[in-house]
Structure 1
Amino acid sequence: MFIYNAWYIAAEPAELNDGRIVGRVLLGKRIALYRGDSGQLVAFEDACPHRKAPLSLGTVVGDGVRCAYHGAEFGADGRCIKVPGQKAVPPKAVVNTYPVIERHGYIWVWLGDNQAGADESSIPDGFWVSGEPSWIGGYGHMESIKADYRIINDNLFDITHAEFVHPESFGGQEVQFYRNARPGSEFVDRGMSFEIGANSIRFRVHAAALGDEGGPLWRSMLAQSHGEEEWDEPIDFRMEVIWWPPCYTSFHISVRPMGKPEAEPVEIYNLHAAVPETTRSSHYFYRSVRNYGDASMNAAFIDAASFVFNQDKPILEGQQEVLGERDLLQTDPISFSGDRLPLEGRRILERLLAAERVER
């Protein structure tokens, strides 16, 4: 079920500050991540080859790590360079290493084949905004969730659930357009268009005059940007959503006062990464950035993100409890009119999985 030939978000850069080593499970593999004294990023298998103690419990020494159990030291290339109390170092004392890079405000790890030739093109280009200083509020937010990453992908694709799960924020009538989506690349008033690519899915929602029937979050964006308590007039609302396999989704929301196409848009990017931990759990990385306001607004956005996440979490974890070890599609579920794009995403994942099986 895992696609290994892809870059996965593994940590926030701040998690590696002050010589800290992060131990994290990705795709069922235990990984230790740290930044050496020179600034070099390193990703090890999180197990000392001596007695399998987690190296994430150790100490950064130079660009290497000292195991917390018996003091063996490993260089950034994974080779043991010192064993206390003896001159000879066992030639097999080597730890697996993984390619690791910092991009778009995140630490990414490659766990697939042909590691020396890992292709950075699988890093979703739409995530550039999360590391761009000109966008405000690039705080990190990570949660653990006991659900298959594919269930989380499905949830992000299916905005119709917002009408019932998130009515306080973005669950207005605009999400109903999703049920009657049509192929296309343009914004359609009171409608939704979508494009299915080889390795992406994109859809657009538009309402030229969205009033109280829309989600309250969109009007509050305009109110905040203008320093007002409320925005009572209808707005011009646009949303573009892009998904990149295996687990990355970007929501770009743009609002203006109704009938003022010349006005500078008020914009938010919400970025989601449902990184597989195991077959039944995921690391959920979330980031929201905007083109208005200042850092004083960040705390409110963090609280809002947590509120929304905690509305989704019990439903997704409940699904996983019902499914157990089964994949959703193995249960022959019924389909609704809003299910097309989640199913198209599943097809893309299956194609990529099949390609990896052939390569192996």
Structure 2
Amino acid sequence: MTRTSMQFPMNGEFVTNCWYVAAWDHELIDGRKLARTILEKPVLIYKGASGQYVALDDRCCHRAAPLSMGRIEGDDVRCMYHGMKFDPSGKCIQIPGQDRIPPKLGVRSYPVVERNHLVWIWMGDPALADPDLIVDYEPLGDPNWRGIPCYMHYDANWVLIVDNLSDFAHLAFVHTNTLGGSEEYAYTTKPVAIERLEDGFRVERWHMNADAPPFHKKVIADKTAKVDRRNIGRMVTPGIFFLETMFTPAGSGAETGKIVNARQYRNCQYMTPETRRSTHFFWNYLHDFDLDNPNIALSLRDSLIEGFNEDKAIIEAQQVILEADPEFNLLAIGADAALSHFRWLLNKMKDAERAGGTAPVQPTRSGERVPA
């Protein structure tokens, strides 16, 4: 990869020694079993009776029957083909009608941790699975923020979603009537800061004295007032994105640090590869005003679904084109500085794993506040 051309990664390589989001915690309530392919591996995820989260290879070692078709018994799972039972470590602990259990009988288990309603999984070397490397997002657990956790599935490689998130200019054209507001956004605004960080990047962009975009108009009283809008995007490798958005009355001085009558949003997005051509996409769009009105969160969720479906249509169309010619080089323009840096970091992480080391991923500790 160079700074001017970006070959699309179609070879199925994944960074494995890092934490990926596997589920929202509400997907595992009431004894539910979740079958989810992650990094092209079939995984069963469930919450045991003790409250322990468990992630196992979703294939019984006997005849490859899906354990997700099995039965949860306490913290264990029983395969409902021949009745073999496995504990959370993946060890077979019972075979009906057979007293001796060969030590080799078992399935792979994966480290799994719940933080702020997100269930994280480590698909690589379990000895390297340090929970302190999980990037906590404070607004998810803060009562001063309200939102609705959501999930989407993309029939596209996850890096294409990262590309989409890396440049706010696409808001003007893809989301003219939803999240962006007008094509003017692309012409009259430029990033005021692009920071290349050792775990990703940070981009800040302002749009001054503009009409509020449609999604914001739906949840405010004065729909005609001009606003100053700030977006701060923070990407953390390999696939975490945080967006901090603020609207203030036009001319109120927010760009100088004078924050009055602000309406703020916090958006967290997590891209987890399902396969080399499909992606699990987890997100939540939170707000800090009118918290006693549940319709705000519902409206924002619906607006984001509308906007993400606009992205999805383009990204999945890109996937089809790039699959037809995986050697096609994507040429960079000035707005691609952040995503070019991201791809450079991603290749660096892959090289580190191929060399037998730990990929230098997610150095942001869980105690830090993100986005910066």
TM superposition score normalised by structure 2: 0.85
Query: Which moves more between the two structures, 333-342 or 267-276?
Result: 333-342
The number of equivalent residue pairs is: 336
The alpha-carbon deviation at position 57 of structure 1 amounts to 1.2
Match of 2:139 in 1: 129
Partner secondary structure for residue 177 of structure 2: coil
Q: Counterpart of 2:150?
A: 141
Give matches, 1:3-22, under 5 Å.
3-22=15-34
**Alpha-carbon distance, 1:69 to partner:** 1.2
Secondary structure, in 3 states, of the residue corresponding to 1:81?
strand
1:28 aligns with 2:40: yes
Is contact 2:178–2:213 with CA below 8 Å preserved after alignment? yes
1:19 shift after superposition: 0.9
Match of 2:3 in 1: none
Identity percentage over the alignment?
33
| 1:90 equivalenced with 2:102 (yes/no) | yes
Say which SS state the counterpart of residue 94 (structure 1) adopts: coil
Q: Contact (CA 8 Å) 1:135, 1:291: kept in 2 or not?
A: yes
Verify: 1:116 aligned to 2:108, yes or no. Answer: no
Match 1:344 to one of 322, 341, 363: 341
- Structure 1 residue aligned with 2:9: none
Q: How far apart, CA to CA, are the structure 1 residues paired with 2:85 and 2:229?
A: 56
Distance in structure 1 (CA, Å) of the matches to 2:197 and 2:131: 19
Corresponding letter in the other structure for 1:162: L
- 2:216 counterpart of 1:206: no
Q: Are residue 217 (structure 1) and residue 210 (structure 2) matched?
A: no
1: CA distance, partners of 2:19 / 2:325: 26
**One-letter identity of the residue aligned with 2:271:** A
Cα gap change, 1:3/1:168 in structure 2, threshold over 3 Å: closer, same or farther?
Answer: same
Question: Relative contact order (alpha carbons < 8 A, sep ≥ 6): 1 or 2 greater?
Answer: 2
How much does 1:118 deviate?
Answer: 1.2
2:191 paired with 1:160:
no
SS of residue in 2 equivalent to 1:168: helix
Task: Find the counterpart in structure 1 of residue 289 from structure 2.
Answer: 292
Measured in 1, the distance between the counterparts of 2:266 and 2:248 equals 15
Aligned pairs for 1:29-108 (under 5 A) are 29-108=41-120
Shift of 1:193: 1.1
Say which SS state the counterpart of residue 112 (structure 1) adopts: coil
Asked if 1:246 is matched to 2:238, the reply is yes
Note closer, same or farther for the CA distance 1:81–1:325 as it changes in structure 2 (3 Å cut): farther
Against the structure 1 CA distance between its residues 177 and 55, is the aligned structure 2 distance closer, same or farther, given a 3 Å change threshold? farther
Shift, 1:216, TM fit: 3.6
Contact 2:200 2:341 (8 Å CA) reproduced: no
Deviation at 1:315, TM superposition (A): 1.0
| Matching residue's letter, 2:247 | V
Q: For residue 160 of structure 1, give the secondary structure of its aligned residue in structure 2.
A: helix
CA distance in structure 2 between the aligned counterparts of 1:37 and 1:176, rounded to whole angstroms:
56
Gaps of 5+ in 1: 182-191
Distance 1:271 1:245 in 2: 14
The 8 Å contact of residues 194 and 202 in structure 2, kept in 1 or not, is answered as yes
**Matched-pair contact (CA < 8 Å) for 1:104–1:132:** no
**TM-score (norm. length: structure 1):** 0.88
Question: Structure 2 CA distance, aligned partners of 1:346 and 1:124?
Answer: 20
For the Cα contact (< 8 Å) 1:2–1:27, is it kept in 2? yes
Q: Do residues 318 (structure 1) and 329 (structure 2) align?
A: no
How far apart, CA to CA, are the structure 2 residues paired with 1:24 and 1:262? Answer: 43
Aligned residues: CA RMSD? 1.9
Measure, in 1, the Cα distance between the counterparts of 2:240 and 2:259.
Answer: 32
State the 1:177 CA deviation: 5.7
Residue 218 and residue 296 in structure 1: after superposition, are their counterparts in 2 closer, same or farther (change >3 A)?
A: closer
Deviation at 1:37, TM superposition (A): 0.4
Deviations 1:208-245 (A, max 9, x none): x4223x63434555x2xxxx1x3322222211110001
- How far 1:286 sits from its partner (Å)? 1.4
